[in-house]
Amino acid sequence: MHEWALAEAVISAILTVAKEKGAKEITETKIKIGNLQQIEADILTTAFRELVKNTPLEKTEIKLEVEEAYLKCKVCGIEWNFKDAMSTLRGEESEAIHFVPELAHAFIRCPRCGSPDFEVTRGRGIWIEYIKVSK
Amino acid sequence: MDRVHKSFKVRALDPRSAIINERLKNAKRIFVVLGGKGGVGKSLIATMFSLMLAKRGHSVGLLDLDFHGLSCHIILGAKGMMPTEKKGIIPPEVHGIKLMSVAYYIGDEPLPLRGTEISDAFVELLAITRWGRIDYLIVDAPPGMGEEVLDIIRLMKRSEFLIVTTPSSLALKTVSRLTRLLLEAKVPILGVVENMRITETKLVEEYAKKSDIEYLGSVLFDYNLEECLGNPKKLLETKFARNIKNVARKIL
């Protein structure tokens, strides 16, 4: 599953930052997942649980939060929720966006003017909101 | 001693860049084929290099990063295949080459991307693609000095750069700027290839000498190349392939 690759990337990033900050222990972290990528939170949680074994993150509390994705047309300025576009996507198109969110530009058009020139204003990808450590 | 507990915001830290070198660590060498202008033959040279290396028994990955001009899959005649999803994505093998391209997902749909989106797509693709052990990763870069090239310099640390140009003063002018960028970035330049040569000229050779980069040879314009696209067996028998073989000798 693709979620495993992302979980691996998150763990690698947290460990790098914790090392830079000279942390003895990483107590808590919050990961935000943008809805555009349609990441399965359950699979991601399973991946984290497996991948943190025998790492300094083994006892870290990992919090996940999903953020709604919004798209904004660069031509007419309308903003819309990605959820509205999801029903128009075919399975393989949805899967493509799951792997590389920018591929949305190949399949989604502005609901008002039909332009493919839009930006993702919120809810793209996966990112680390904060890391709590003890020194 | 009491521990100090501290929480810090990491300003929406993007975790993907951290994993890229891990994904590429089992690629022995990384060659990036790039040029100042479009249409100078970068994709054909990158793909031909990949085919030759695979034919010699090397394990080869080919990454098409020219999002606005995806071509490698057409040159190789890759049809009806998709990457496999397994804790990331594993590129399918096309004529012995592990080819990764977003063309698998978008088919013939246009992909209008702006700067930061190109960078995001680049990082995402590198963060999730699992190449496994490969001897060579060949990267087909888009023309110019945009997002992809800057991200290659920033994130693909072991890259070696192969510059492609035609023997035209217009193409060379942009190559000159590109070369300066690479030199300033202190990245290894394998040399410059003169492609699509029709008449006798020393333009590129003299430019290479003046710029202190290696001249890797010329590739003559091959009028039969077009009809071989999509057919790797035929491609390997072209005059173009024979010329590229001479270039390859100098860098392998």
The percent of residues in chain A predicted with pLDDT above 70, rounded, is 99
Tell if the CB–CB gap between A16 and B3 is shorter than 8 Å: no
pLDDT score of B2 more than 80: no
**CATH number of the domain enclosing B210:** 3.40.50.300
- Which residues numbered 99-128 in B keep a CB inside 8 Å of some CB on A? 102, 105-106, 109-114, 117-118, 120-121, 124-125, 127-128
Nearest to B96 by CA among B57, B132, B44: B57
Q: Is B130 an interface residue toward A (CB < 8 Å)?
A: yes
Is residue B5 assigned to a domain?
A: no
**Contact between chains at B6 and A106 (C-beta distance less than 8 A):** no
Q: What is the pLDDT of residue B149?
A: 95
What is the pLDDT at residue A20? 85
Provide the pLDDT for residue B10.
Answer: 62
Region B152-175: what's the mean pLDDT?
A: 95
Within a domain: residue B9?
A: no
Please state the ipTM of this predicted complex.
0.89
Judged by a CB distance cut-off of 8 A, whether residue B185 touches chain A is no
CB of B3 less than 8 A from some CB of A: yes
Q: What is the pLDDT of residue A22?
A: 82
Whole-number Å distance between alpha carbons of B36 and B2: 58
Nearest Cβ partner of A9 from B19, B106, B112? B19
Domain count, chain B: 1
Assess if residue B40 is contained within a domain: yes
Per-residue model confidence (pLDDT) at position B18: 82
- Return the minimum-mean-pLDDT range out of A22-36, A74-88, B47-61, B104-118: A22-36
Burial of B105 from C-beta contacts in 10 A (0-12 / 13-18 / 19+): buried
Structure tokens belonging to residue B252? 């392998």
Read off the pLDDT band of A69 (50, 70, 90).
Answer: very high
The average pLDDT across B241-251 equals 95
Q: What is the mean pLDDT of residues B72-82?
A: 96
Share of chain B above pLDDT 90, in %: 90
Angstrom distance (rounded) from CA B233 to CA B239? 13
State how far Cα B149 lies from the chain centre: 10
**B8 found inside a domain:** no
pLDDT digits (tens, 9 = 90+) for B202-218: 999 999 999 999 999 99
Distance from the Cα of B143 to chain A's closest Cα (Å) equals 20
Residue B133 near chain A (CB below 8 Å): no
B21 touching chain A per CB within 8 A: no
Residue B4 domain flag = no
Q: Compute the radius of gyration of chain A from its Cα atoms.
A: 17
Q: Is residue B126 part of a domain?
A: yes
Q: Is the pLDDT of residue B195 over 60?
A: yes
Closest CA to B13 of A61, A58, A66, A30: A30
Of B3, B86, B105, the CB nearest to A96: B105
Is the pLDDT confidence value at B95 over 90?
yes
In this prediction, residues B106-121 reach a mean pLDDT of: 94
Average pLDDT over residues B30-40: 96
Q: Which of B164, B141, B222, B157 is nearest to B41 (CA)?
A: B164
What is the rounded average pLDDT for all residues in chain B? 94
Is B208 part of a structural domain of the chain? yes
* Confidence (pTM): 0.93
In this prediction, residue A23 carries a pLDDT of: 80
Count of beta carbons in the 10 Å neighbourhood of residue B7: 12
- Statement: residue B5 has pLDDT above 70: no
Q: Which domain holds residue B153?
A: 15-251
The pLDDT-based confidence of A114 (bands split at 50, 70, 90) is very high
Is residue B125 one of the residues assigned to a domain? yes
User: What does the alpha-carbon distance between residue A79 and residue A47 come to, in Å, rounded to a whole number?
Assistant: 34
Sequence-distant (6+) residues with CB within 8 A of B158 are: B24, B27, B29, B30
The whole-angstrom separation of Cα B247 and Cα B217 is: 6
B11–chain A Cβ distance below 8 A for any pair: no
**Exposed / middle / buried, residue B98 (Cβ in 10 Å: 0-12, 13-18, 19+):** buried
